Structure 1
Amino acid sequence: MLTTAQRATIVPSTPPSLPRLFLSPTRSGRAVLDGGWWARSWDPVAELPGLLLALVARYGPIRQVMLNSVTWNSRFRRLAVGAGVVRMGWFASLDPALLIAITDRGDQLDVLVVPPDTGAATARRAMTMAADPMNTMRAPDILAAMPAAPRNGPDPHAVWDNEGGHTVAGVARAHPSELSVVRPG
């Protein structure tokens, strides 16, 4: 059951961030995805406004967004974005690697969601593949096909050395400016 706060329209208190987004230059009937997006966190209030403004600029007003309810760290019914309000749908059955946006015209946009802790090179390859109009792979398959690469932040698989108190493997960090918005067309 949703609380009163979850039923309210959320108005973000900070300006939207520039999304790390690659979109397909054309909508192909053959393509499975319309692009790829690399979020900086699992906070939907911080992450979604920038993404949605980029999608609105490309495809027109967005009326609804559907996301996995388990992956994101909060849920709400409506989000104020620019001059509009987007209805949110949260589903445990929706793959965490997929965001579905529905335009006012009824077009469905399927966008790969690259996890925030993914390394920059891997994220870039995944988003490029998702934005390829000839791509026929689904979102989770793209992520599964990516080679293991260093992730941003602490390595969850690093072994703590019981003698010296340090991790065995170092972790490379990506610079935040490595990727930018791609708005073809």
Structure 2
Amino acid sequence: MTVITERPPPTTLTVRASGHPAVRLSLKPPGPQCGLLDGAWWPRSRDLTRELPALAAMLDPLWGRITRVAVNPTYWPVIPRKVPVHGHTVKVGWFADEQDPHQLLLLSYRVGRWDLLVIPPETGAAAAARLMAAACDPRIVLTSSTLMATESDTHPLAPAEAYAPSRAEVWESEGGAMAAHG
């Protein structure tokens, strides 16, 4: 029996979609997926109408046509209902209470659902690089907001072994659902 202990590094993309600045995106490597996130996106602004076309154009060939996107309105000042993307339209929805404010949910015909950590545009390059790596590390089972809370330029993320995910985070990452207490 062969046991593989090393995973390929995450795919980090900074490619220009026609007429747009380079997309700053990091995706988990191919293989068995675990954790709560599929990668991280570091947009250049909080303008979804400007940022989504380049992101969708980048992801369409990888995941199939992106058809819907959901965000939490906390950090997006304007949420358009639809965004034109190279010959098709992406519908945009929002969920204030149900969705993590630092997360972008994408739906496509071919792959299904993908969840990306959204790194605020004003984040420094070093912190963004750490967050992109952490979002793609299958050993880290943290929500987007928890990842953001653990990061700052003066207190970098600790190695994955230092994280002890809560039972709820592990349960959610395995497809379970915990009832809200309160």
- When Rg is computed on C-alpha atoms for both structures, the one with the higher figure is 1
Structure-to-structure mapping, 1:18-33, within 5 angstroms: 18-26=22-30, 28-33=32-37
Q: Work out whether residues 99 and 113 of structure 1, in 8 Å CA contact, stay in contact via their aligned partners in 2.
A: yes
1:73 to partner: Cα distance: 2.0
Displacement of 1:63: 1.1
Query: In the alignment, which residue of structure 1 is the partner of 2:134?
Result: 129
Name the SS for the 2:22 alignment partner: coil
Q: CA RMSD in A?
A: 2.0
TM, length-normalised to structure 2: 0.69
| Residue 147 of structure 2 is aligned to residue 147 of structure 1 | no
Give how far 1:17 is off. Answer: 2.5
**Residue 135 of structure 1 aligns to a residue in which SS?**
coil
Deviations 1:140-165 (A, max 9, x none): 1111111344xxxxxxxxxxxxxxxx
Give the alignment partner of residue 47 of structure 2, picking from 43, 48, 59: 43
Query: Aligned-pair distance for 1:90?
Result: 1.6
Q: Give the counterpart letter for 2:100 in structure 1.
A: D
Q: State the alpha-carbon separation in 2 of the partners of residues 28 and 84 from structure 1.
A: 31
Deviation of 1:106 (Å):
5.9
**For the structure 1 residues 106 and 57, does the alpha-carbon distance in structure 2 shift closer, same or farther, using more than 3 Å as the test?**
closer
Query: Sequence identity of aligned pairs in percent?
Result: 36
Indicate the structure whose relative CO is greater, using CA pairs within 8 Å and at least 6 residues apart.
1
TM-score by length of structure 1 reads 0.68
**Alpha carbons of structure 1 residues 18 and 27: separation in structure 2 relative to 1, 3 Å:** farther
The letter for the 2-side match of 1:76 is: P
Count of matched residue positions in the alignment of Structure 1 and Structure 2: 137
- Farther-moved stretch of structure 1 (116-125 vs 78-87): 78-87
In structure 2, do the counterparts of structure 1 residues 147 and 76 end up closer, same or farther at CA, with 3 Å as the change threshold?
closer
Q: Does 1:100 align with 2:105?
A: yes
Is it true that 1:56 corresponds to 2:75 in the alignment? no
Contact 1:34 1:131 in 2 (8 A): yes
5+ residue gaps, structure 1? 1-13, 150-185
Distance between the aligned counterparts of 1:133 and 1:139, measured in 2? 14
Deviations 1:50-99 (A, max 9, x none): 11111112111111000112321212211111122111102222222100
Change (3 A) 1:116 1:28: same
Displacement of 1:19 in angstroms is 1.0
Q: Could you say what secondary structure the match of 1:36 adopts?
A: strand
1:170-181 equivalences under 5 Å are: none
